């Protein structure tokens, strides 16, 4: 990181103005500007929310762009799955800045989640939610600090997920409620929750967990990923015979449509599955899903997807789906060979659109992104904490790519620290403003084979 000391010292004001005009987001100065904005918004959120105790807290979910976040508790059946994203965002800011302010806050907001590693205590509508709750909070905390308390929680989460596995179906069950027997639902979101199984199998957990994660991903591929790379949301199985009963949707427009955030979950999830297994089939699936997602954006002449790609007419957009997909595309760019440059360019275009048009610049706003979509759950045109989290993560992944640094896999501590030296963040803010495109030239878009 000492190379940052050589960067030109210019004003932060110039940095902000240059970044706002940049589209796509393909420069280190633009990333630095957006990360500074995220610091500002997260500081507002910390100042407006009651601090957590060691065992409880109210976590932001939606609506922060209006100046008031709706909140949830980790044990809440409907919204508790989102409680890991705010602590995860705090950990990412610690990664970006090395500031003890963010480390202290991240530890405080992670602590109440350590009790959530069991799927039945407390009960949740979706017991696999622990993959979201623990992954983004404890997973980042362990990756950045190596704290053994966090590794213990990750292993407990892996054991909990393994207990939900049905070998006849070949999948970890999603959703405990809402389906009459003999159904056994598996949702596309579940691809995001396999990390504790994948990591735990070779880090003190049961080695059989790796096979569970692989079989689950294969079952999702077979039953929820269509031949054109689009995805369904829910596959329902007979738990006794393993027979597929049908594919339905609860968040999408129809049972045959493609819910944009579900497509983004699949993109990110299959890249992560490939990173942790080296199974080439998962890389192929990730590329198929990515090609579909980006192909729909190109066809619509936009870089921000509608909430469902098949809903008729002009539909609300979902910036959370865009942020998740951009994050996954950057991950994919690092493992995808000849197509890597294309996927990176796609991610830069999406991030540029988010940065230039969807940041929450309202004086009263506390969120990072506006215009997320969850339908009747939170509504349309709203801030969503998971959109903020994945936008932040995507920026840091893109920064690594532009600096020539390796990508990281959630849960796995880096061989060398990914946290910059304490004085580096100020240097970055001042130096990146003058850096512009120095040392980096935008990669040309290549056609997909």
**432 — phi, psi (to 5°)?**
-65, -25
Q: What is the pLDDT of residue 259?
A: 98
Q: What is the pLDDT of residue 431?
A: 47
Radius of gyration, CA atoms only, the chain: 20
pLDDT in tens, 344-364: 999 999 999 999 999 999 999
> Which tops the pLDDT comparison, 291 or 424?
291
pLDDT at 377 over 70: no
pLDDT at 13 over 70: no
pLDDT in tens, 151-210: 999 999 999 999 999 999 999 999 876 666 769 999 999 999 999 999 999 999 999 999
Q: What is the pLDDT of residue 208?
A: 98
Sign of CA dihedral 119, 124, 128, 129: negative
> Which tops the pLDDT comparison, 304 or 4?
304
Residues 6+ apart with CB under 8 A from 347: 326, 327, 329, 330, 333, 394, 398
Q: What is the pLDDT of residue 394?
A: 98
Burial annotation 4-27 (CB, 10 A radius, 16+ → b, else e): beebeebeeeebbebbbebbbbbb
Q: Summarize the confidence of residues 17-21 as an average pLDDT.
A: 35
Where are the domains positioned within the chain? 2-435
The CATH number assigned to the domain with range 2-435 reads 1.50.10.10
- The residues that bridge with 185 in the sheet, in sequence order, are 236
Q: Residue 337: which region, alpha, beta or left (left: phi > 0; alpha: psi -120 to 50)?
A: left
Q: What is the pLDDT of residue 18?
A: 36
- The number of residues making up the chain comes to 449
pLDDT at 113 over 50: yes
pLDDT in tens, 414-443: 555 678 766 555 555 554 444 443 333 344
pLDDT in tens, 321-350: 999 999 999 999 999 999 999 999 999 999
Residue 220 · residue 188 · CB < 8 Å: yes
**246 — phi, psi (to 5°)?**
160, 165
Instruction: Quote the percentage of the chain above a pLDDT of 70.
Output: 85
Tokens representing residue 166 in the block: 């049905």
Q: What is the pLDDT of residue 125?
A: 76
Q: How confident is the model at residue 378 (pLDDT cuts 50, 70, 90)?
A: low
Q: Summarize the confidence of residues 403-414 as an average pLDDT.
A: 85
Write out the chain in H/E/C secondary structure.
CHHHHHCCCCCHHHHHHHHHHCCCCCCHHHHHHHHHHHHHHHHHHHHHCCCCCCCCCCEEEECHHHCCCEEECCCCCCCHHHCCHHHHHHHHHHHHHCCHHHHHHHHHHHHHHHHHCCCECCECCCHHHHHHHHHHHHHHHHHHHCCHHHHHHHHHHHHHHHHCEECCCCEECCCCCCCCCCCEEEEHHHHHCCHHHHHHCCCCCCCHHHHHHHHHHHHHHHHHECCCCCECCEEEECCCCCCEEEEECCCCCCCCCCEHHHHHHHHHHHHHHHHHHCCHHHHHHHHHHHHHHHHHHHHCCCCCCECECCCCCCCCECHHHHHHHHHHHHHHHCCCHHHHHHHHHHHHHHHHHHHHHCECCCCCCCCCECCECCCCCCCCCECEHHHHHHHHHHHHHHHHHHHCCCCCCCCCCCCCCCCCCCCHHHHHHHHHHHHCCCCCCCCCCCCCC
Q: Summarize the confidence of residues 369-381 as an average pLDDT.
A: 81
> Which tops the pLDDT comparison, 1 or 387?
387
Q: What is the pLDDT of residue 449?
A: 45
pLDDT in tens, 230-260: 999 999 999 999 999 999 999 999 999 999 9
Which residue's entry shows tokens 């105790």?
Answer: 53
- Give the relative orientation of helices 12-21 and 340-357 as an angle to the nearest 10 degrees: 110
Q: What is the pLDDT of residue 421?
A: 67
Peptide bond into 182 cis (omega under 30): yes
pLDDT in tens, 70-90: 999 998 888 999 999 999 999
Q: What is the pLDDT of residue 416?
A: 55
Q: CA-to-CA distance for 318 and 365, rounded, in angstroms?
A: 18
Tokens representing residue 17 in the block: 């103005």
Q: What is the pLDDT of residue 424?
A: 52
pLDDT in tens, 44-57: 999 999 999 999 99
């Amino acid at each position: 990181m000492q190379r940052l000391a050589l960067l030109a010292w210019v004003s932060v004001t110039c940095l902000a103005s240059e970044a706002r005009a940049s589209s796509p987001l393909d420069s280190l100065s633009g990333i630095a500007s957006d990360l500074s904005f995220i610091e500002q918004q997260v500081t507002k959120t910390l100042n407006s929310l009651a601090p957590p105790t060691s065992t409880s807290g109210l976590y932001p979910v939606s609506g922060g762009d209006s100046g008031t976040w709706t909140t949830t508790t980790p044990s809440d059946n409907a919204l508790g799955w989102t409680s890991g994203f705010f602590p995860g965002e705090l950990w990412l800011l610690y990664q970006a800045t090395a500031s003890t302010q963010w480390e202290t806050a991240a530890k405080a907001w992670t602590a109440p989640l350590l009790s959530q590693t069991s799927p039945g205590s407390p009960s949740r509508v979706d017991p696999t939610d622990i993959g979201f709750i623990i992954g983004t909070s404890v997973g980042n905390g362990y990756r950045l600090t190596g704290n053994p308390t966090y590794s213990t929680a990750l292993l407990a989460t892996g054991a909990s997920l393994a207990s939900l596995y049905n070998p006849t179906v070949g999948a970890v069950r999603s959703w405990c409620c809402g389906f009459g027997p003999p159904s056994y639902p598996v949702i596309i979101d579940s691809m995001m929750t396999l990390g504790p199984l994948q990591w735990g199998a070779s880090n003190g957990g049961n080695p059989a967990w790796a096979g569970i994660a692989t079989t689950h991903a294969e079952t999702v591929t077979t039953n929820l990923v269509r031949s054109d790379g689009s995805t369904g949301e829910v596959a329902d199985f007979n738990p006794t015979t393993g027979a597929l009963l049908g594919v339905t949707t609860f968040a999408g427009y129809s049972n045959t449509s493609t819910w944009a955030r579900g497509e983004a979950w699949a993109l990110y999830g299959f890249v992560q599955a490939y990173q942790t297994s080296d199974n080439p089939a998962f890389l192929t699936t990730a590329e198929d899903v990515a090609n579909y997602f980006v192909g729909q954006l190109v066809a619509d002449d936009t870089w921000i997807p509608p909430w469902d790609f098949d809903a008729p007419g002009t539909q609300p957009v979902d910036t959370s789906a865009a942020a998740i997909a951009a994050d996954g595309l950057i991950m994919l760019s690092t493992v995808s060979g000849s197509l890597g440059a294309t996927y990176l360019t796609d991610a830069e275009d999406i991030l540029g659109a988010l940065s230039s048009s969807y940041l929450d610049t309202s004086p009263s706003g506390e969120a990072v992104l506006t215009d997320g979509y969850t339908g009747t759950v939170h509504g349309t045109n709203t801030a969503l904490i998971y959109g903020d989290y994945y936008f932040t993560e995507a920026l840091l992944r893109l920064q690594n790519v532009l600096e020539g640094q390796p990508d990281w896999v959630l849960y796995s501590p880096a061989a060398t620290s990914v946290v910059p030296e304490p004085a580096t963040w100020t240097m970055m803010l001042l130096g990146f403003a003058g850096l512009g495109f120095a040392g980096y030239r935008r990669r040309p878009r290549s056609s997909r084979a």
